[in-house]
Structure 1
Amino acid sequence: MNIQLIRLLHLASPALPVGAFSYSQGLEWAVESGKVTSEAAAQQWIRDALHFALARCEAPALVGLMRAWKAGDVAGVARLNAEFTATRETAELRAETLQMGYSLARLLRDLPEIPDSVRETHAGLTEIAFPTAWAAAAAHWQIGEQDAASTYLWAWLENQVMAAVKLVPLGQTAGQRMLVALAPDLPALAQEAIRRAEEEAWENFTPGMTLASCLHETQYTRLFRS
């Protein structure tokens, strides 16, 4: 087992102290409103988000940011960070990526093996999106783009499935069935993200998720922050 795989497991771990577990990205409203009431409906909701949001916007941004970090392109990191932050259409989605980005950047700051150049670049950013900080770690640890994008998507998928298990609610076995069913999509979605990164062809047209996120802001009872 090489060290890059160990680092990937570290970045994908639910124990990473960034607070990812506290967000549902609109799924909580979908459950509350009756749009998602079963394992099959939850799986479809999560699959659509993977294909139409993560693979077309967030994962390409991650890959582009990795390239900028590897090249030492401070201006490029700042530009892509700002562009990705601008794609967060709602207050909750924006707060989510900035809170998680801040938490991960703070963690990296306290790890002795992270170079000063990463700390200095983070310090120069007024706001740090989560893919920006995640890409800094992946680039420093020399993780390949395919592996990084697949792992990033897996970490998101696992968090969403665990949210569905709590919200619908579903049993743990149902959650594992969803992970087994959706995991085979990830390699091809990572490839799509790499292609979009090369062309800077991000696409973030997900009106259903946006409306779910907006409506979640005023939801009467909430377990999750988004």
Structure 2
Amino acid sequence: MSLPLIRLMQLVSPALPVGAYTYSQGLEWVVDTGAVKTEAQVGEWIGDALAGAFGCYELPLLARLMEAWQRGDDAAVVELNAHCLASRETSELRAETVQMGYSLVRLLVDLPAFTGLPGWVARIRAIEEPAFPTVWAAVAVAWEIEPEPALTGYAWAWVENQVMAAMKAVPLGQAAGQRLLSALAAVVPTRVADACTRAPEAWSNFQPGLAIASARHETQYSRLFRS
């Protein structure tokens, strides 16, 4: 278990050069409007997204992508990837997942340890626009990371990135950031357990506030983040 755990930590590290730190997923816009300006409001915004579009759509999608890669069902991978792209309700959210997927694919070429998924280069490149969860799932399977810890790490990385974005945009201090991480981390196991068993017909990315924030952010005059 030691090596898969280490590989998971590498995969969820902020040092992973895929550009995650450049995105706020609409959070910057709600901060700019003054709707989110306190530690408590940041926690509510991120917590709602964790329980909503991220927890009810992206996490269960990731679980199914891992299953598809594991059983060698490339047709299912392509279909799930298309679903992922279609779920992005704004151009910047779609561009985000495509850019991060592209960056992760390029990085894999330089990782000699990535040997556990036969023919991975051709298989990933056969996907016209591989989204970040699609490529991330392939790496998790190749590195023999079990689904539950993989989803836990993926969720933690998302939460951490959202908190870091809030610390810059609000701004918040380091202690506030740690309090937010502690509170949000306590919710992650429940979201992961739900994602592992949630049937596709129960997936939902319906979160109008998040979509509106991202759409408004696309034309925000001054901004730190790309989304």
Q: Aligning the two structures, in what range does the TM-score lie when normalised by the shorter sequence?
A: over 0.9
- Whether 2:45 is the aligned partner of 1:45: answer yes
Once the two structures are superposed, what CA deviation does each residue of 1:87-130 show, in whole Å capped at 9, x if it has no partner? 00100000000000110111113322324521111110110100
- Name the structure 2 match of 1:71: 71
- Name the structure 1 match of 2:124: 122
- 1:128-139 maps to which residues of 2 (within 5 A)? 128-139=130-141
In structure 2, what is the Cα distance between the partners aligned to 1:2 and 1:74?
29
In structure 1, what is the Cα distance between the partners aligned to 2:160 and 2:200?
28
In structure 2, what is the Cα distance between the partners aligned to 1:118 and 1:67?
15
- Name the structure 2 match of 1:219: 220
Q: SS where residue 101 of structure 2 aligns?
A: helix
- Name the structure 2 match of 1:187: 189
Letter in 2 for 1:156: W
- Name the structure 1 match of 2:207: 206
- Name the structure 1 match of 2:163: 161
Alignment check: 8 A CA contact 2:25 2:214 kept: yes
Q: CA deviation at 1:202?
A: 1.7
Q: TM-score, normalised by structure 1?
A: 0.97
Structure 2: 5+ residue stretches without partners: none
- Whether 2:92 is the aligned partner of 1:57: answer no
Once the two structures are superposed, what CA deviation does each residue of 1:130-168 show, in whole Å capped at 9, x if it has no partner? 000100011111111111111100000000000000111
Q: CA deviation at 1:39?
A: 0.4
Letter in 1 for 2:70: K
Q: SS where residue 186 of structure 2 aligns?
A: helix
How many corresponding residue pairs? 225
In structure 2, what is the Cα distance between the partners aligned to 1:21 and 1:62?
20
Alignment check: 8 A CA contact 2:114 2:143 kept: no
Alignment check: 8 A CA contact 1:146 1:187 kept: no
Runs of 4+ in 1 over 4 A off after TM superposition: none
Q: SS where residue 127 of structure 2 aligns?
A: coil
Structure 1: 5+ residue stretches without partners: none
RMSD: 1.1
* Identity across matched positions, percent: 56
Q: TM-score, normalised by structure 2?
A: 0.96
